[in-house]
Amino acid sequence: MSEQNNEYDLNQTDEYVNHLADVEKTNPATASEDIFNEHGVLLLKKGAVITQRVAGHLVQHKLKKELDQSISVANALTVYDILNQILELVESETEFNLLHQHFEFEVTIRQLLFVKPIPAQVLQRLTVMQKVMPDVYKRSLFCAWMTPLLAKIQGLPHQSYFSAFAAGLGHDIGLLHIPVDAATKGEGLSYQQWRALKTHPIVARIIMEGRKIYDADALNGVADHQERCDRSGYPSQKPAKEISWIAPLIGLSDQLFEIFYDDKRSTKTILAWNAYLEVNMSTFGVRNVEALLAVLKDPKIASHVEKALPEVNVEDVTRQNAQVSELFELSVELFDIAANYPRSRIARGVSECITQMRWVRDSAGMGSEHLSEWLGWGEKHKDEIDAIEMAEISELLVCLRWRFRHLWRLAVEFSWNDKLPAEDKTKIEAIYKKMQPLLPRPGLIDPEAPEPEVQAAAMANE
């Protein structure tokens, strides 16, 4: 399926059938009726279990009807299981529970689980996800809680909460339908893997749309949940005005989860969210971010958050500021190149992303000469430096480098465009190669391993 269209066919078997075989021992998937291919040939008799051998027979067949409507997954999750698991997740973290109680959200979340039934086909997929992608499943539970909570924090109409809940819970079920290496690798994806990953929001939308109970808000939220208001998202680098209102809330929830559970942090605390929100105002929409920041800084919340940010030394912060400063310098030439291609979706994404990050630099001073001079003074007067302030500056710089990581990915994709003259392609490649060692982790995609169809695909996407 192209990352730019809605061509996914519900009747076409894919990686999901292999996942069904993977859970055979705990949640065997049994044919609830005879299963035929599109030409009427019997593939699987009623009562047969999907094993690895059966999966190998079924995969890549186009069926007469959607596979999930012709199977029954044993020990499937129920609505009550979902509710209890969400509450267990929230109650297991003191600071989540603090927000939960502050907004009296338990009554709300209980109501949302029963506004409309969760379709069996969605419950079956979530059951499989819980087994084969437990971290993704945990994040889905978190998003089912946080996305409607963000809607409530903004004071949105109560009737909008169910759409936010449904989209938060189901937004990643499309990952079950793409190759495992693309769905779970996380970093260093080949171009082919990256193309597959970019399809998962649309796949999830089509699956949920086929259930006939979700409204356009929920469906569009799922389809757009990887888009960003600064055009740094995917699959289409949509401008903010074209993105569903729920999508930034899901995307923000995803990121809050990743920050809180980042195993590279010494402590889990919602304090770490503040810096990310400050740096990503334009990424997820100013209104969305400001509303959550106001809550996190409310004395009724802040006074009960006991965990502190990890201490940092002035030398480390000075190094981080120098890295950010160098990244901004590298972005100048990239911006000038992108400005020459106003009709290119990727180029517009590059320009908008850089523009928004420059606003962060100008408003917060990150990467600036002024901050560099102040840090130089701090290295000579360490006893006079406020440790909390230093930790907060470090968090801001780290978050800004993560934002540059999105720009790096856009630059790589931009360089793949066959319409670019060789000179500009070479310049862009030189820029992103200089950026890479300054970023917090390797890039999501591997620019050294493009697939043969890269150039044709790039042309098709413009």
Q: What is residue 418's predicted lDDT score, i.e. its pLDDT? A: 86
pLDDT level of residue 190 (50, 70, 90 thresholds): confident
The verdict on 272 and 407 lying in the same domain is no
Is 3 within a domain?
Answer: no
Q: Report d(CA 271, CA 438) in Å as an integer.
A: 25
Are the beta carbons of 73 and 124 closer than 8 angstroms?
A: yes
Domain that holds residue 424: 324-366+397-460
Average pLDDT, the chain: 91
State whether 105 and 205 are in the same domain.
Answer: yes
Do both 332 and 253 map to the same domain? no
- Residues 342, 288 within the same domain: no
Asked whether residue 389 is domain-assigned, the answer is: no
| Percent of the chain residues past pLDDT 70, beyond the cut | 95
Percent of the chain having pLDDT more than 90? 77
Q: How much is the pLDDT for 188?
A: 80
Of the residues 25, 53, 73, the one at which a domain ends? 73
Residue 171 domain-assigned (yes or no): yes
Answer yes or no: is pLDDT of 457 > 50: no
Domain boundary among 26, 55, 73: 73
CA distances from 192 to 79, 195, 441, 452 (A): 36, 5, 21, 9
Q: Which of 108-122, 238-252, 279-293, 295-309 has the lowest mean pLDDT?
A: 295-309
DSSP string, 213-259: ---HHHHHHHHTTT--TTS--SSS---GGGS-SHHHHHHHHHHHHHH
Identify whether 380 is part of a domain: no
Q: Which of residues 389 and 438 earns the better pLDDT score?
A: 438
Residue 36 CB partners (closer than 8 Å, separation 6+): 42, 43, 63, 64
* pLDDT given at position 449: 58
Same-domain check for residues 26 and 98: no
pLDDT in tens, 26-35: 999 999 999 9
**Which pLDDT does position 456 carry in this prediction?**
37
**Position 375 in a domain:** no
CA distances from 50 to 22, 76, 428, 454 (A): 9, 15, 48, 35
192 vs 124 pLDDT, higher one? 124
Assess whether 226 and 269 both reside in one domain. Answer: yes
Question: pLDDT (tens digit, 9 = 90+) per residue, 79-104?
Answer: 999 999 999 999 999 999 999 999 99
pLDDT band at residue 447 using 50, 70 and 90 as cut-offs: confident
Residue 241 has pLDDT above 50, yes or no: yes
Q: What is the C-alpha to C-alpha distance for residues 392 and 420, in angstroms, rounded to an integer?
A: 41
Residues 374, 376, 380, 385, CA torsion sign? positive
What are the start-end ranges of the E strands in 26-128?
29-31, 35-36, 42-44, 71-73
For residues 296 and 336, membership in a common domain is answered with no
Residue 257 located in a structural domain: yes
Domain shared by 139 and 237, yes or no = yes
Q: What pLDDT does 460 receive?
A: 38
Is there a domain that residue 351 lies in? yes
Whether residue 4 is predicted with pLDDT greater than 80 in this model: the reply is no
**Are 47 and 114 in the same domain?**
no
CATH of the domain at 132: 1.10.3210.10
**In this model, does residue 63 exceed pLDDT 50?**
yes
Q: Is the pLDDT of residue 295 over 80?
A: yes
Its sign, for the CA torsion 229, 231, 234, 240, is positive
CA torsion sign for 400, 266, 185, 179 is: negative
The answer, yes or no, to whether residue 349 has pLDDT greater than 90, is: yes
Same domain, 349 and 231: no
Among the candidates 73, 95, 116, a domain finishes at: 73
Query: Above 50 in pLDDT, residue 13?
Result: yes
Side-chain-facing half-sphere of 149: CA atoms under 13 Å: 28
Q: Say whether pLDDT at 5 is over 60.
A: no
Q: Does 87 lie in the same domain as 28?
A: no
Is the model more confident about 43 or about 8?
43
pLDDT range class, residue 6, cuts 50, 70, 90: low
Same domain, 83 and 141: yes
Query: What angle is formed at CA 67 by the lines to CA 65 and CA 68, rounded to 5 degrees?
Result: 115
**Total domain count, the chain:** 3
Per-residue pLDDT, 8: 85
Q: Is residue 108 part of a domain?
A: yes
pLDDT in tens, 102-134: 999 999 999 999 989 999 999 999 999 999 999
